[in-house]
């Protein structure tokens, strides 16, 4: 055994010789960004060897610069440790564990009321029961049932009660001196408490993404969102896309359980924080709703996702599931809590899209709209209340910063807006401070600006200095630098970055963006063809998620990510999936609407269509 | 730590100094009869110290004879061990772990058909499904559902399926090459198997008694009972009646779980034996039904039984429970197996009585009958289809052999019939061989015979030799022996017994029987009074259980255990509780009948009635 020390945490761990640094990091629970899941492709998991020897592997030689290797930088996934070693974790590769964002539901109950019929199907009833005596030997449960019938609860004889609740009853009702509050959900008793707690009913809506998991705690009486928390999906360590995660489950039998535990752990972490943050009693959480992509849905339930990934892409189930907390191993909620798993649409169009469609009301709008949820996969929905079509395209993680030389996610230090005039470059950094990279919306701006100035041509080539328009200033022109793998454009000079290295936009970066935007645009084109309409017939484009919040509409049109439409018809849909999950907590009837959306929507499988390939190639051009 | 060796098992255990022998026996899983649960009252747990020193305690001095103490006999519950010791366990105190008896259902399906409408609500459907392709991307579950709808299964859209079954599906259906058998119970999928298994459906009926637990494996297609097994309830170690067991749960918080585990272990042992014995696949067991007294019902489910024992005797629930195997911790059946817990009537009239009433058809008979289930408690039911009344009386364990000097349960070596004429004593021994004691039916015979000969008078006194009728032979007369605690009657001479000690009927034994029979008879009297009829109005007396099988009706009437009625009106009901539980497996509609029996029967609480005390004292006389 040898010892590894991680700085600046000062965490130590003893491991077997030959352990990779990534494995060791996992053991000490330091979470770093490893988008390719340790395959040695992305080159993102750069750490610094402070003390100890680690010869650079051929993969490291390729992915790291000569200077980096000299300084002691290595890839955590590639470097195996054979002696006591001290390793420094640069702050830029750490996963920012907690990000807070709201689903914008707060105070929104009236707007919800307009579109959805409210009703939680929960009922809390306070009972002041007669005590038992030799003349009144009703069982504890019989006594409670009679008490409920006096309160005019319907259908008493069909009331269900679980073993868990029955177990609690004898001690509880005596401690409560027979004054209790009974909670009913549909026709089942799901809680019995001491005293009068009729005012306290809460639910949590979850949106489980491949990258981020969000939870929203909602007061079921007032409809108010009391608290919202988002955390990084720590399954990241097994790769940043669902295909890597599915691949991981196939390596060893136990891995499915590992991924299941990891997701539940994140939900539990969110619960542990969000409940005290909202100042409520965890026992008064009665319902949760869960949206997420199909793979996350399967992993949470411990369903084998093996047949999602290869053609013909078959999930275990698409329908919604009405479960109890006890059905999800290790979920830290009372076993009787109702768990509604939203329905999926297909292997790659998941419950989060159903939640989004619910929230944006496409299912009840007369006019045709286009909904785009852009992550590693781009899910696209086109339609109206009459009929909806959807598809999923593998856009790749370019817009999330992966596979882009200076790419990063939209967090602190990321450039999220870029403006270039003839002479100078202007940009905005999230939370200001030193620049650490460029995120998706910044990248789109940058390419749009370079297109406008003619520095990138129609085929995506970063032109040579001499090819530039004559009116272009020397300042901009000289940022074009020739290299062995094509030209690159100097975006940020070394003095302005945190690492002290300059940031470039490389020819390869542009190709990655072209692949991503072409996938999305070709998907949109195929849907338009299916529906037999032209782009002008689209009444509204809704962009989902954080990306939709930050993206510059003009830039998105210019690079050809979305069709050309008047700007007022393009909107951010906010965190539509999270809001959809919240709406279901408050409006029980929307469960059926979700089921109908999932069942009636027409899913278009792009992989089997030759015309998608044609559209894709066409869309590569700017 | 010191070492204890048990003979003849040659089992060793290391224990702390001061451990009692009973505790050590529990650890090595040697099961002995300890009816009082280690309180030092019954004096039954006699073991022999072979090597090692153990000073007799005052309790042992009282409960053991001087000679026994000299020989090295001690009480396992009283003797603490402080040095390496070798202990011999006499065979007569061992619990015979396994006894087989049938519920007589075998081949009885036609008789059941006459009284009960058959129907298991189970359906097995074989499906040969189309394989998935890019043109047919239905989910696994969607594919199965469509397959079922082609087979005209009704209400497909409301079919339920559990997470457990969904988990199995993806691998299973592919291994099965999409040829599967789906099992439906009501509107839920409870199993999916490879290939065609439509012919295999089984259920197990359990009857959980305080002393014995029985299981019956039934073919749900043919109605045949394939196998039956009974085992001793190993909770015995905590006392032989429910009050001792409840007391045990109150000593430490963990004890409730210990008792829960012990019961489930017995069920699991039965399952482990009965399934291969019947030659079936454990995965084809789809339903179980559970009858048992209220305390066993609570302990199995982990319900706190604390409020059953003290006045006003309140159970947690009386209603039946429709559960799944997963609701019973550690039960070794597929989690989706349906578990029907029969309803209870009161704290001391349990689900076994409901099962008995179902089986003997009291609920549909015009004529009034009396049903008696005699164990430690005597449960009595009087009535007809119009109305039923019931009560429970604390008869004590005399008829089960406890608290009787030579008493034992009705197993190998027990005298179960006694005949005395003027000169000689004739008796029958279960499985012949050496005599080990006398069981309940033998005891009733013995007292009836002694009453007939005038050796016991009306008040229950065993008369002096000189008080005997002059015509009594000297042979019988000289068996009366004077002692410090009243007379005793020599039943078996030393040479005929296994232990080499003679067996007596003592004055105290007679008092125990008087207490027991008076309790039963007074209970019957109170029910007759409630119903406002006289004994002659009873059309039939049904005696339940093993006791009812062996008891001599004439003797039972003579000692005043049951009312005087023409002998042809008195019948053994066999193992009615077990048969009732089997019937429910085959006739789903009887679940509602059970519920109605439990709800409509009038329970009479004897402890609150002054007239019960009067009747009890009157009934003490012979």
C-beta atoms of B302 and A327 within 8 A: no
Q: Which of A133, A169, A346 sits opposite B137 (nearest CB)?
A: A346
Residues of A in contact with B163 (CB under 8 A): 301-302, 321, 323, 327-328
| Residue of chain B whose Cα is closest to the Cα of A301 | B163
| Residue of chain B whose Cα is closest to the Cα of A172 | B304
| Structure confidence at residue A109 (pLDDT) | 60
Instruction: Identify the band that residue A98 occupies on the pLDDT scale cut at 50, 70 and 90.
Output: very low
How many CA within 13 A on the CB side of residue B107? 0
C-beta atoms of B319 and A142 within 8 A: yes
How many C-beta neighbours within 10 Å does residue B134 have? 12
End-to-end CA distance of chain B: 55
Query: How many whole angstroms separate alpha carbon B583 and alpha carbon B562?
Result: 28
Query: How many whole angstroms separate alpha carbon A36 and alpha carbon B359?
Result: 67
Residues of A in contact with B314 (CB under 8 A): 132, 137-140, 170
C-beta atoms of B312 and A133 within 8 A: yes
C-beta atoms of A319 and B141 within 8 A: yes
| Residue of chain A whose Cα is closest to the Cα of B134 | A312
Percentage, residues of chain A above pLDDT 70: 97
Residues A296 and B163 sit within 8 Å (Cβ to Cβ): no
| Structure confidence at residue B107 (pLDDT) | 43
* Residues A322, B146, A361, A391, Cα dihedral to 10°: 110
ipTM, 2 dp: 0.82
> Beta strand pairing status for A188-194 and A160-161?
parallel
C-beta atoms of B315 and A140 within 8 A: yes
Q: Which of A139, A301, A346 sits opposite B315 (nearest CB)?
A: A139
Residues of B in contact with A133 (CB under 8 A): 312
Report the pLDDT averaged over residues A574-603: 95
Give the DSSP per-residue string, A160-177. Answer: EE-HHHHHHHHHHHHHTT
Residues A525 and A353 sit within 8 Å (Cβ to Cβ): no
Domains defined for chain A, CATH in brackets? 2-94 (3.10.20.30), 122-194 (3.10.20.880), 202-341 (3.30.420.480), 359-397+513-619 (3.30.420), 403-503 (no CATH)
Burial A60-87 (b: 16+ CB within 10 A, else e): beebbeeebeeebbbbbbbbebeeebbb
DSSP letter at A599?
H
Residues of A in contact with B174 (CB under 8 A): 307
Instruction: Identify the band that residue A107 occupies on the pLDDT scale cut at 50, 70 and 90.
Output: very low
> Beta strand pairing status for B85-88 and A388-393?
unpaired
| Residue of chain B whose Cα is closest to the Cα of A133 | B312
C-beta atoms of B139 and A315 within 8 A: yes
CA distance A182 to chain B (A): 16
Residues B228 and B215 sit within 8 Å (Cβ to Cβ): yes
Query: How many whole angstroms separate alpha carbon B183 and alpha carbon B126?
Result: 9
Tokens of A515: 């692949």
* Residues A245, A248, A249, A255, Cα dihedral to 10°: -110
Query: How many whole angstroms separate alpha carbon B486 and alpha carbon B476?
Result: 18
Query: How many whole angstroms separate alpha carbon A577 and alpha carbon A292?
Result: 8
CA distance A312 to chain B (A): 5
| Structure confidence at residue B99 (pLDDT) | 36
pLDDT over threshold 70, residue A97: no
Q: Which of B256, B204, B202, B248 is nearest to B230 (CA)?
A: B204
Query: How many whole angstroms separate alpha carbon A536 and alpha carbon A533?
Result: 8
CA distance B321 to chain A (A): 9
C-beta atoms of A303 and B166 within 8 A: yes
Residues of B in contact with A591 (CB under 8 A): none
Which of the residues B129, B257, B304, B607 would you substitute to probe the A interface, choosing the one with the greatest number of A C-beta atoms within 10 Å? Answer: B304
Residues B437 and B408 sit within 8 Å (Cβ to Cβ): yes
Share the mean pLDDT of chain A: 91
How many C-beta neighbours within 10 Å does residue A107 have? 11
Sign of CA dihedral A74, A75, A78, A80: positive
Sort B555 into a burial class: Cβ within 10 Å, 0-12 / 13-18 / 19+: buried
Tokens of A298: 């399967």
Tokens of B581: 């539980």
With a CB cutoff of 8 Å and minimum separation 6, the contacts of B138 are A314, B132, B146
C-beta atoms of B303 and A170 within 8 A: yes
Tokens of B235: 């909770």
Query: How many whole angstroms separate alpha carbon B553 and alpha carbon B568?
Result: 10
Q: Which helix (H) or strand (E) holds A593?
A: helix A590-600
Q: Which of A360, A378, A377 is nearest to A369 (CA)?
A: A360
Query: How many whole angstroms separate alpha carbon A593 and alpha carbon A591?
Result: 5
Average pLDDT along chain B, 622 residues, taken 10 residues at a time: 88 90 84 76 86 88 88 92 91 55 49 80 97 96 96 88 96 98 96 97 95 92 89 85 91 94 96 95 98 97 96 97 96 97 97 96 94 89 97 86 86 89 87 86 95 95 93 92 92 86 94 95 97 96 82 94 94 89 95 97 94 96 93
CA distance A264 to chain B (A): 16
Where are the strands (E) in A378-435, listed by range?
Answer: 378-383, 388-393, 414-420, 425-429
| Structure confidence at residue A110 (pLDDT) | 63
Tokens of A550: 């930050």
CA distance A369 to chain B (A): 26
CA distance B116 to chain A (A): 24
With a CB cutoff of 8 Å and minimum separation 6, the contacts of B494 are B500, B501, B502
With a CB cutoff of 8 Å and minimum separation 6, the contacts of A58 are none
| Structure confidence at residue A95 (pLDDT) | 63
pLDDT over threshold 70, residue A168: yes
Chain A residues with at least one Cβ partner in B under 8 Å: 132-142, 162-163, 166-167, 169-171, 174, 301-304, 306-307, 311-319, 321, 323, 327-328, 344, 346-347, 603, 605, 607-608
| Residue of chain A whose Cα is closest to the Cα of B256 | A167
Q: Which of A142, A313, A323 sits opposite B318 (nearest CB)?
A: A142
Which of the residues A129, A135, A136, A140 would you substitute to probe the B interface, choosing the one with the greatest number of B C-beta atoms within 10 Å? Answer: A140
Q: Could you tell me the strand order of the sheet in which A388-393 lies?
A: A570-574, A540-544, A369-374, A378-383, A388-393, A602-603
Instruction: Identify the band that residue A574 occupies on the pLDDT scale cut at 50, 70 and 90.
Output: confident
CA distance B544 to chain A (A): 26
Residues B235 and B262 sit within 8 Å (Cβ to Cβ): yes
Q: Where are the alpha helices (DSSP H) in B182-309?
A: 242-251, 255-278, 294-301
Which of the residues A171, A259, A317 would you substitute to probe the B interface, choosing the one with the greatest number of B C-beta atoms within 10 Å? Answer: A317
CA distance A319 to chain B (A): 8
Which of the residues A158, A163, A188, A299 would you substitute to probe the B interface, choosing the one with the greatest number of B C-beta atoms within 10 Å? Answer: A163
- Geometric angle at alpha carbon B274, from B271 and B276, rounded to 5°: 105
Q: Which of A166, A174, A318 sits opposite B139 (nearest CB)?
A: A318
Q: Tens digits of per-residue pLDDT, A21-41? A: 988 987 787 777 777 777 788
C-beta atoms of B314 and A608 within 8 A: no
> Beta strand pairing status for A414-420 and A437-438?
parallel
C-beta atoms of A603 and B319 within 8 A: no
Query: How many whole angstroms separate alpha carbon A612 and alpha carbon A607?
Result: 8
Q: Tens digits of per-residue pLDDT, A184-229? A: 999 999 999 999 999 999 999 999 998 889 999 999 998 888 998 8
Which of the residues B131, B136, B137, B390 would you substitute to probe the A interface, choosing the one with the greatest number of A C-beta atoms within 10 Å? Answer: B137
Q: Which of B134, B166, B316 sits opposite A170 (nearest CB)?
A: B316
Q: Which helix (H) or strand (E) holds B179?
A: strand B179-185
Residues of A in contact with B316 (CB under 8 A): 139-141, 166, 169-170
With a CB cutoff of 8 Å and minimum separation 6, the contacts of B500 are B494
Residues of A in contact with B307 (CB under 8 A): 132, 140, 170, 174
Q: What is the 3-state secondary structure (H, E, C) of B299-348?
A: HHHCCCCCCCCCCCCCCCCCCCEEEEHHHCCCCCCCCCCEEEECCCCECC
Angle between helices B590-600 and B351-360 (to 10 degrees): 120
Residues A105 and A218 sit within 8 Å (Cβ to Cβ): yes
| Structure confidence at residue B610 (pLDDT) | 92
Question: SS3 for A324?
Answer: strand
How many C-beta neighbours within 10 Å does residue A613 have? 12
Radius of gyration of chain A (CA): 27
Q: Which of B132, B166, B317 sits opposite A166 (nearest CB)?
A: B317
Instruction: Identify the band that residue A101 occupies on the pLDDT scale cut at 50, 70 and 90.
Output: very low
| Residue of chain A whose Cα is closest to the Cα of B138 | A314
Q: Which of B170, B311, B346 sits opposite A316 (nearest CB)?
A: B170
Q: Could you tell me the strand order of the sheet in which A179-185 lies?
A: A122-128, A179-185, A188-194, A160-161
| Structure confidence at residue B431 (pLDDT) | 79
DSSP letter at B152?
T
Residues A63 and A267 sit within 8 Å (Cβ to Cβ): no
pLDDT over threshold 60, residue A459: yes
Chain B residues with at least one Cβ partner in A under 8 Å: 132-142, 162-163, 166-167, 169-171, 174, 301-304, 306-307, 311-319, 321, 323, 327-328, 344, 346-347, 603, 605, 607-608
Residues B384 and B366 sit within 8 Å (Cβ to Cβ): yes
* Residues A572, A578, A584, A585, Cα dihedral to 10°: -130
């Amino acid at each position: 055994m040898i010892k590894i020390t991680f700085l600046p945490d000062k965490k130590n761990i003893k491991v077997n010789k030959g352990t990779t640094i990534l494995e060791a990091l996992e053991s000490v629970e330091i979470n770093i960004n490893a988008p390719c899941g340790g395959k040695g492709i992305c080159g993102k998991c750069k750490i610094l060897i402070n003390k100890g020897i680690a010869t650079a592997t051929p993969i490291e030689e390729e992915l790291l610069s000569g200077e980096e290797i000299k300084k002691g930088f290595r890839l955590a996934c590639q470097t195996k440790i054979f002696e006591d070693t001290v390793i420094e974790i640069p702050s830029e590769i750490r996963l920012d564990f907690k990000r807070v964002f709201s689903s914008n539901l707060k105070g929104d109950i009236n707007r919800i009321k307009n579109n959805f019929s409210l009703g939680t199907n929960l009922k809390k009833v306070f009972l002041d029961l007669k005590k038992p005596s030799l003349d009144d030997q009703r069982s504890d449960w019989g006594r409670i049932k009679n008490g409920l019938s006096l309160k005019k609860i319907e259908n008493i004889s069909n009331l269900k009660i679980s073993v868990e609740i029955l177990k609690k009853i004898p001690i509880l009702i005596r401690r409560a001196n027979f004054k209790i509050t009974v909670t009913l959900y549909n026709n089942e008793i799901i809680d019995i408490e001491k005293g009068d707690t009729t005012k306290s009913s809460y639910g949590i809506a979850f949106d489980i993404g491949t990258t981020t998991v969000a939870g929203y705690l909602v007061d079921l009486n007032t409809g108010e969102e009391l608290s919202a928390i988002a955390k990084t999906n720590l399954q990241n360590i097994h790769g940043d896309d669902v295909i890597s995660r599915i691949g991981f489950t196939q390596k060893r039998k136990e891995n499915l359980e590992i991924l299941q535990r990891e997701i539940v752990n994140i939900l539990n972490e969110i619960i542990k924080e969000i409940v005290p943050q909202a100042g409520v009693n965890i026992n008064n959480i009665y319902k949760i709703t869960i949206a997420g992509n199909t793979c996350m849905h399967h992993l949470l339930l411990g369903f084998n996702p093996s047949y999602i990934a290869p053609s013909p892409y078959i999930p275990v189930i698409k329908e919604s599931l009405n479960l109890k907390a006890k059905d999800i191993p290790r979920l830290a909620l009372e076993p009787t809590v109702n768990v509604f798993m939203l329905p999926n649409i297909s292997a790659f169009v998941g419950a989060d899209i159903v939640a989004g469609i619910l929230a944006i009301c496409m299912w009840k709008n007369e006019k045709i709209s286009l909904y785009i949820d852009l992550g590693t996969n781009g899910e696209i929905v086109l339609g109206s209340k009459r009929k909806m079509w959807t598809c999923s395209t593998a856009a790749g993680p370019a817009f999330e910063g992966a596979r882009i030389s200076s790419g990063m996610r939209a967090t602190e230090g990321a450039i999220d807006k870029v403006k270039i005039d003839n002479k100078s470059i202007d940009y905005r950094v999230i939370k200001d401070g030193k620049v650490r990279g460029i995120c998706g919306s910044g990248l789109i701006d940058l390419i749009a600006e370079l297109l406008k100035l003619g520095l990138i041509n129609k085929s995506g080539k970063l032109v040579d200095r001499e090819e530039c328009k004559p009116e272009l200033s020397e300042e901009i022109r000289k940022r074009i630098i020739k290299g062995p793998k094509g030209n690159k454009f100097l975006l940020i000079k070394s003095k302005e970055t945190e690492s002290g290295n300059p940031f470039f936009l490389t020819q390869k970066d542009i190709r990655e963006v072209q692949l991503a935007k072409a996938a999305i645009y070709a998907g949109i084109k195929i849907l338009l063809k299916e529906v037999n309409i032209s782009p002008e017939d689209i009444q509204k484009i809704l962009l989902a998620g954080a990306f939709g919040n930050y993206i510059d509409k003009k830039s998105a049109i210019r690079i050809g990510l979305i069709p050309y439409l008047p700007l007022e018809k393009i909107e951010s849909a906010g965190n539509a999936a999270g809001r959809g999950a919240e709406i279901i907590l408050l409006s029980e009837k929307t469960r059926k609407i979700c089921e109908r959306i999932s069942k009636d929507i027409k899913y278009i499988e792009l992989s089997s269509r030759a015309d998608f390939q044609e559209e894709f190639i066409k869309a590569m051009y700017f």
